[in-house]
Amino acid sequence: MSKKNFNIIGNPFPRHDAWDKILGETLYAEDFTLSNMLHLKILRSAHPAAKLLSIDTSHAEQLPGVEVVLTAKDVPNNETVTKFGQTHDVGGFAGFSRALADKKIRFIGEAVAIVAAIDVKTATKALKLIKVEYEPLEGVFDPEEALKDDAYKVGEEDTNLICNYKVRKGDIEKGFKQADVIVENTYRVPMVDHAYIEPESGVAWMAEDKVITIRSATQVIEHFRGIAEILGVPHNRVRVIAPMVGGGFGGKEDITVETFLALVVLKTGKPATLTYTREESLIAHSKRHAYVMKYKTGATKDGKLVAMEAELIQDAGGYIYLSPWVLLYSTVKATGPYDITHVKVDTCSVLTNNTFGSANRGFGGPQPCFAYESQLNELAKLLNMTPLDIRKKNFLHSGDALATGRVLEHAVETEATAEKALVALGKPTKSKESHIKIGQGFAASMMSYGRNNFIHDTSRSYVGVELDGTVVVRCGVQDIGCGQCSSLAQIAAEVLGVALSDVSVYYGDSALTPLAGTTTATRQLYMSGNATWKAAKVVRNNLARIAGEQLKTKPTNLVFKGNKITAPDGNSLSLDTVIKSCAGQGIELYAIEQFNAPAKDLINFKTGQGQVFSDFTFGTIAMEVAVDTETGKVDVLKIISCFDVGQCVNPLSVEGQMEGGAIYGLGYGMCEDVILNKGITMTPSLGEYILPSSMDVPKVQTITIESGGGVGPFGAKGIGEPSCVPAAAAFSNAVADAIGQRIFDLPVTPERIVRALHKI
Amino acid sequence: MKQYPIKIIVNGKSREISVTADETLLDTLRSKLDVFEVKNGCEQGDCGACTVLIEGIAVNSCLTLAIQADGKEVTTVKGIGTDENPHPLQESFHKYGASQCGFCTPGMITSAKALLDENPNPSLNEIKNGISGNFCRCTGYTKIFDAIESVTNENQS
Amino acid sequence: MNHKEYFKPNNTQELGQLVKEFGSKVTFIAGGTDLIPQMRDEVKSPEVFIDISEIDELLSIVEEDDVISIGAATKISEVTSSFILITHCPILVSAAEQLGNILTRNRATIGGNIANASPCSDTAPPLLTLNASLVIRDIKGEVKTQSINDFFLSYKKTALQQGELITQILIPKKSEKQCGSFVKIGQRNSAAISVVSMAMMLDMDSGHCRQAKIAMGGMAPIPIRALKTEQLLKNNTINEALIESSAHHLAQEFLPISDIRGSEEYRRHLTAVLFKRSINNSLKQQGE
């Protein structure tokens, strides 16, 4: 790849918001206070499945200090049907949801009532005074059970099936007949939590002109529409502001505290605040879906994949939320970054009375990755091939097509990422003790960036220059810690030739910043990055036209660098001089641009044929582990992450995403498990829900490939989600290598290792 | 509820406040003293977002009664360094990109300072142990290890 | 209305006066790392806090002729850095190093960990094998000594009456012929509640075991001595066969529960594994 001549892009600058965070200055959702705020507490269901017979809030209301207690009857539009997309009307599926529980409880964390009081203590006391009459129902907690005709029905429909998809390529029976070896296994992955360090939180108030304003830790300020619908107020009377968010990972993608706050503000006119307790967060907010995955894979004796049949059953939990989209992502990625002659994929999403599943980093990508990367290694074992060799025989390359028929027209560097990762992993460490077995394993993956194409995704950004030569970006982007804002500053700085510190980014305000869409689906660099790039270029072109006249050269010959505009002959003008010149002539010193992702029709869900995504990020994670075969405990010795990121907008940020993603995924592979017993959460604290601590991880080594072949600005590809997708599979493969046995469930815990070794 | 007048020296400034016997230091700092850099992550002593130094010792402020800090020096990240005079740890966190969403950062830097005060030249394992009470969900810890490692005896003022 | 009160006595005399005045209403607090979460969960609702964390008599670690005395309010971080304890009670130090995480250890106290009586307590198994005694101050101010082996009665219930306070932990100094180990298996390497933990002290004489003390966490409703397995080792020569059969026996001695941290079968399996490791590690110290 040719060396690019960037000044800002591609350089490891600390993010422009880094100092504030390091000095403790950043004000997150809960750090914002108003006088006389009401403090909210939510009463949650005592049962995962029950008829809600009655709620008596009278005693709670009478407690001194309680302002209001709200239940479903107090919500103007308690039941809504969301069509997924950036507005309510764009996109396919209809997801029924309730703001507050009514008629029938569908999962244990379901919100039943809202208390607003003068302080948290009073609100907590009031919760206990609310009398709720339930009739517990049998419920259903296993998605395979829930699919049966006579199963308990979670909702009001006569089926628990939410949706299903198919992918058909070729003739699967023919494929298996061609296969010399076939492996067939069932993989089970549990529900896991985002476990961001900042719990869900927000403050809301009634501003001038009756605008209900909510400042909350959210990935989607455009929920203002959904909130307005629930409140029965016009869309332009709800404003959502996203401050810096203390971690999102998809868990703050759905509405969390916002509706509760808005309802109280609407009812009382007073400001209100709500922060979930950690327990509440672990019990009641969305989770990564649990899946049951049945895979049958056939290969010829030289390792060519001729048939892959996959059945994925997704446990959606009590409400639909984003389950159909997550399932769609899983469906497209079900067979991985491989060329397979005959493919049959059937996926379905099922309601149960477990906690609801929704977006979680990777959005349905990590689950099938665990399955297909395990299958590949099982085949390799039977064929006496190395895991790398069997993959090299089957990796998709640029120009090849997925099983969905979609041709991969952009860069596909999976093979290079696998080779580099393994070189970096090196030869196995020698074990010092006979009961410690060293294992090495890796997993390759594909993960889309950008939302699905039939959403007709768009993003807008404003770039303007001030008279003193400083730059302003206004963009509705929500920053959840991945440098969403800082990237825009870098892009604007690059295009306009200023220092990073010369750019201010105003972000995340649905009233005041051009809407940039959700911070989800690894789309912000791609979408708002491109929109910002477009806008910055418009401003630059305006400045270049005037500067060119003054410097007597074509605008395209000018170089914008060091706060100057320089002509080929070496003469230059300072940026602010040109700006003032433009201002004097009434030339626009700003631009708002919209970037449109490719827009496609809905794919054919019966054959799965069609284009769903703009592009994918391909990569590999490799690990070395030391397994104590007697206790099952695993020491992770090495982690290597290698991804084609297209172009590093900021290498420091990219490395950070890759390192963080690897450990986020390691937790999924090694120790995280939201344990439910008939719908009741058994792990409602961070002492019981096991995250990797600093003492459980090695340093992650990162290797980036910059193919330039992405559709983001400067040829970048997204990395936020892709970076975590193969980690759990890599961990599992490394353990399998160590112990000579495969574990087909996640997490691969010490106990499971011990059981696999037949010691108990 | 019975109120007790106490005095906490927060980042060198004496703060007088009334607290109940059972109020936690975290609650007092955030809700009465506007010390927002000390974060509420779990209130159960699991995550470390609320880490402060009490007389130089790193503790969870959510597991300390406010009244137990009476007359004591409580240091937060704002007492460790400022914009005009950042601590070398803060310089290195900045340089190495050790902060992403930033929510764990104040607590993390506070624990790291306590570590380096006691052991100016920790090994990687000692660093891991020194921040073992602070979870980070964004960075995967690598750049935090790098940032702390880079601040050695020679570099510390 | 609940008017919670707080007192911080400077010495045991002031402590005595407060206990006299408030009697069974008192709740002692030092580090608060167990108490405060219990208050949030409304498992405990103290009316009168008596903060014992700065009473000198409860803070020192003293080596006397035959016994080590540890003040009950000694922080776990002080246990881990005490030269006296590193020298004389290394298995207690090993357990303390693995308790919670560094922030917990900076506040939690050894007396608090004992009194909390979690079945997975980290300090209890070593103390059980070290034959520790607890000096307990009763509600009248009188002092009695009780073996820790009689202290844990049932799940989270101890011999402490309301208003009583552990003031010291006394550990007889070990002889040169004694060796031991502590090992803990948790779900991660920090802030891990034990799935199973095992402390062991052996009294050896050239391959001959005069006495064995084995105590476990995570295997019963209380931290517990494995008295039956101890008998198998007592007055026997330690060889492979005995280690093997004792491991098997120990794995069956208790009735552990299955919970989110591990199943009964896994806990029994770990017991056998940890026993073999502990006994071999202990013997290595003696050069056996």
Give the model confidence (pLDDT) of A459-477 as tens digits.
999 999 999 999 999 999 9
Contact C51/B at CB under 8 A: yes
Give the integer Cα–Cα distance in Å for B111 and A509.
Answer: 34
Which residue of C37, C53, C102 is in closest CB contact with B129? C102
pLDDT at A87: 39
- Give the residue ranges of chain A where pLDDT is below 50: 1-2, 85-92
Do A45 and A354 form a contact (C-beta atoms < 8 A)?
no
Decide if A751 and C193 are in contact by the 8 Å CB cutoff. no
Assess contact for A39 and A277: CB atoms under 8 A.
Answer: no
Are C103 and B59 inside 8 Å of each other by CB?
yes
Residue C22 has pLDDT above 70, yes or no: yes
Nearest to C188 among A630, A696, A755 (CB): A696
pLDDT at A602: 79
Q: What is the mean pLDDT of residues C8-16?
A: 95
CA distance linking residue C162 with residue C164, whole number of Å: 6
The ipTM value here is 0.98
Query: What is the predicted pLDDT for the residue at A8?
Result: 87
Alpha carbon distance C120, A506 (integer Å): 51
Q: Which domains does chain A have, with CATH numbers?
A: 3-26+458-596 (3.30.365.10), 32-137+200-275 (3.90.1170.50), 290-452+602-757 (3.30.365.10)
Report chain C residues whose CB lies below 8 A from the CB of B64. Answer: 32, 36, 107
From chain C, pick out residues whose CB is under 8 angstroms from the CB of A633.
Answer: 185
Probe site for chain B from A120, A197, A623 (most B CB atoms < 10 A) = A197
| Residues 683-712 (A) with a CB less than 8 A from some CB of B | 685-687, 691, 693-695, 697, 699-700
Is C241 within 8 Å of chain A by CB?
no
Nearest CA in chain B to A702: B142
- Report field, pTM of the whole predicted structure over 0.95: yes
Tell me if chain C has a CB within 8 Å of the CB of B18: no
| SS3 letters across A152-181 | CCCCCCCCCEEEEEEEEECCHHHHHHHCCE
Mean pLDDT score, C174-197: 95
Mutate to test the interface with A, among B37, B44, B53, B101 (most CBs of A within 10 A): B101
Q: What is the pLDDT of residue B152?
A: 73
Give the chain B residue nearest A247 (alpha carbons). B101
Q: Which phi and psi angles does A359 have, rounded to 5°?
A: -70, 140
Sketch the domain layout of chain B as residue ranges. Answer: 4-79, 81-156
Confidence of residue C175 (pLDDT cuts 50, 70, 90): confident
**Residues B133-155: tens digit of each pLDDT:** 999 999 999 999 999 999 975 55
Question: Per the CB < 8 Å rule, is A682 touching C263?
Answer: no
Give the three-class secondary structure for A99. coil
Tokens of C134: 């607890």
- Name the token pair of A637: 């010795």
**Residue C188 touches partner A, C-beta closer than 8 Å:** yes
Rg (CA), chain B: 15
- Hey, are the CB atoms on A249 and B137 less than 8 Å from each other? yes
Average of per-residue pLDDT across B35-64: 98
- Output the CATH code of domain B81-156: 1.10.150.120
Q: Give the H/E segment covering residue A458.
A: strand A458-465
Strands A50-56 and A131-136: antiparallel
The dihedrals phi and psi of A340, each to the nearest 5 degrees, come to: -125, 130
pLDDT of C288 reads 59
> Is the CB of residue B125 less than 8 Å away from at least one CB of chain C?
no
C161/chain A closest Cα distance in angstroms: 29
Contact A224, A238 (CB under 8 A): yes
Centre a 10 Å sphere on the Cβ of residue A472 and count the other Cβ atoms it contains.
Answer: 16
Q: Angle, to 10 degrees, between the axis of helix B142-150 and the axis of helix A651-670?
A: 120
CA distance A478 to chain C (A): 33
Q: Do C36 and B62 touch (CB under 8 A)?
A: yes
The tokens of A247 are what?
A: 């971690």
pLDDT value of position A84? 59
The 10 Å CB-count burial string (b at 16+, else e) for A494-518 is bbbbbebebbbbebbbbeebbbbbb
CB-closest option in A195, A246, A656 to B143: A656
Residue A90 has a pLDDT of: 40
Judged against a pLDDT cut of 50, whether residue C42 lies above it is answered with yes
With b for 16 or more beta-carbon neighbours within 10 A and e for fewer, the A694-711 pattern comes to bbbbbbbbbbbbbbbbbb
Q: Which CATH class is domain B4-79?
A: alpha beta
Give the closest of A631, A675, A694 to C185, CB-based: A631
B40 close to C (CB below 8 A): no
- Which amino acid type is present at position C132? A
Q: In B, which residues are within 8 Å of C6 by CB distance?
A: 4, 21, 65, 67
Q: Touching check for A664 and chain B: CB below 8 Å?
A: yes
Mean pLDDT of chain B: 96
